[in-house]
Amino acid sequence: MADAPSAVALQGTLASIVGENHVISDRDRLASYERDWTGRWEGRAGLAVRPASTDQVAAVMAACGAAGVDVVVQGGNTGLVGGATPMDDEIVLDTTRLDEVGEPDPASRQVTVGAGVTLEEVQTRARRDGLDFAVDLPARGQATIGGMVATNAGGALALRYGTTRSSVAGVEAVLPDGSVLSRLSGLLKDNAGYDLPSLLVGSEGTLAVLTRIRLALTRRPRRRAVALIGVDDLANASTLVATFRDGLGDALEAADFVDRQGLELVCARLHVRDPLPRPCGIYVVVQVADDEDPTARLAAVESEDWADVVAVGEDTQRCEALWAYRESVSEAVAAYDVPHKFDLSVPLSEVAPFADAARLAIEALDAEAKTVIYGHLGDGNLHVNVLGFRPADDRPARALAPLVAEHGGSISAEHGIGRQKRELLGSTRSAAEIDAMRAIKQALDPRGMLGRDRVLPAAPDPRDEQDEVRREGVSR
């Protein structure tokens, strides 16, 4: 952060904008902003500021720009790629006071909420009107809508309803220079100029600060059944999911999985028994939704050789208990050790071959390392969690990234790029794409003050190119 006098001056200016109780400089209070929930990402905040409106965010950004300090946006701090963890005395712009929840509009089935509203608050409000929000995450109690839009969060229901992008009907946001973009009408057809809201979805807080979001709600089928099915390996699991997809169509809301290693960590963490009569290699969790009889829909696809390896539930408590074996993996892994998480996607046909190659690649790095693989099988989204490496050791990520490319996948399915994968972006995006991203970043944030050193790889140092030319010149 800038030298002491400007920091003190800035603190006073920020206090005049948001109130002195909402400018945090106390080191103990800043600690909660400086570490992600897994312990994998740590850093140092200069200050934290908690604006309560778009106008206050605009004034905060203008003040930070004038003071020459950098800003990182943080909502529920549930991110997993270091995107919201402050570095080098950045100012943390905490969005949790942007917590207004509007009245859902029954005609359009839309609602406008503040960026700091949690996913669970949106779900609760929508369900009061017989509607629902089509994205669900294990971190629903902490994850904020602003963070989910900024990372285009996926989750288990993306298979049926799409990622968060599919549920965004408009945004209000503040650009690094303090100017406000507002498109909250929610009009289905509005093709006037570039679609700036779409550009900001998934931009991970590096192009603008999202302050309010117009969400599209949905009506989901009234009843759901969940089945937890044990199979030998991911090849069997992939075949099973393809069978469910063909047999159930839109009634299939989710098809997740967890491997044996992950399930054992969950049973130990939750102090629960194995869910099935015998241990299996992979546990598939499917959710079937239907207004009439989801269990019957499920039974229509069921195969006779599942007899001893399936548990089905329809009442809420049973469904939640079965989902817990999958949804608790993150927490169980983090309780065991600081994980190297690698969220990725590959075509369904490549899931099993990729997972085998990934396990071998990690074993080659360290035979003692533990690899836990789980995720959203229906959309080829795997969460590879590697345990046993120091946080700063980037060998697991560097070993996995080329394998993703070899299997026709993406190095980020739903968690974003953040700090973790910025130097790996080129393994999934072309040089032309990255140059276009740099041009957009330069246009909207010329000083690079928002989310510095995240998402985009470090720009090539022109001196290196000059050295290269000099070396070539000499060698000619």
Binding site for ligand S2G (CB under 6 A): 80, 138, 330, 341, 343, 375, 383, 414
End-to-end CA distance of the chain: give it in Å, rounded: 46
| Nearer Cβ to ligand S2G (18/283) | 283
Name the minimum Å distance from CB 414 to ligand S2G: 6
Report, in Å, the least distance between residue 298 CB and ligand S2G.
22
Min dist. Cβ of residue 428 to ligand S2G (A): 18
CB of 291 to ligand S2G, least distance (A): 27
Using alpha carbons, select from 279, 288, 330 the residue that is nearest to residue 308: 279
Q: Token pair of 436, please?
A: 């276009």
In this structure, the dihedral spanned by the alpha carbons of residues 435, 441, 444 and 449, taken in order and rounded to 10 degrees, is -150
Least distance to ligand S2G from the beta carbon of 140, Å?
Answer: 11
In this complex, which beta carbon is closest to ligand S2G, that of residue 89 or of residue 120? 120
Residue closer to ligand S2G (CB basis): 330 or 420: 330
* Contact yes or no for 113/101 (Cβ under 8 A): yes
Least distance from C-beta 70 to ligand S2G, angstroms? 27
Of all residues in the shown chain, the one whose CB is closest to ligand S2G is 330
Measured from the CB of residue 163, what is the shortest distance to ligand S2G in angstroms?
12
- Cβ 325 to ligand S2G, closest distance in Å? 12
State phi, psi for 266 to the nearest 5 degrees: -65, -45
Q: For residue 368, give both structure tokens.
A: 């003692």
| Residue placing its CB nearer to ligand S2G in the complex, 54 or 330 | 330
**For ligand S2G, which is the closer residue by CB, 13 or 151?**
151
Query: Parallel, antiparallel, or unpaired: how do β-strands 23-24 and 209-216 relate?
Result: unpaired
Q: Are strands 90-94 and 71-74 parallel, antiparallel or unpaired?
A: parallel
Q: Using CA atoms, how far apart are residues 222 and 31, in angstroms rounded to an integer?
A: 43
Residue 258 CA from chain centroid, whole number: 18
Cβ partners under 8 Å of residue 161, min gap 6: 134, 135, 167, 218, 253
Residue 256, amino acid: D
Closer residue to ligand S2G, CB minimum distance, 110 or 144: 144
202 or 375: CB nearest ligand S2G: 375
Beta carbon nearer to ligand S2G, 172 or 343: 343
Question: Toward ligand S2G, which CB reaches closer, 383 or 429?
Answer: 383
Q: Yes or no: say if 72 and 118 are a contact pair by the CB < 8 Å rule.
A: no
In three-state form (DSSP H/G/I as H, E/B as E, the rest C), the secondary structure along 377-401 is HHHCEEEEEEECCCCCCCHHHHHHH
In angstroms, give the least distance from the CB of 148 to ligand S2G: 11
Q: What is the edge-to-edge ordering of all strands in the sheet holding 71-74? A: 23-24, 45-49, 90-94, 71-74
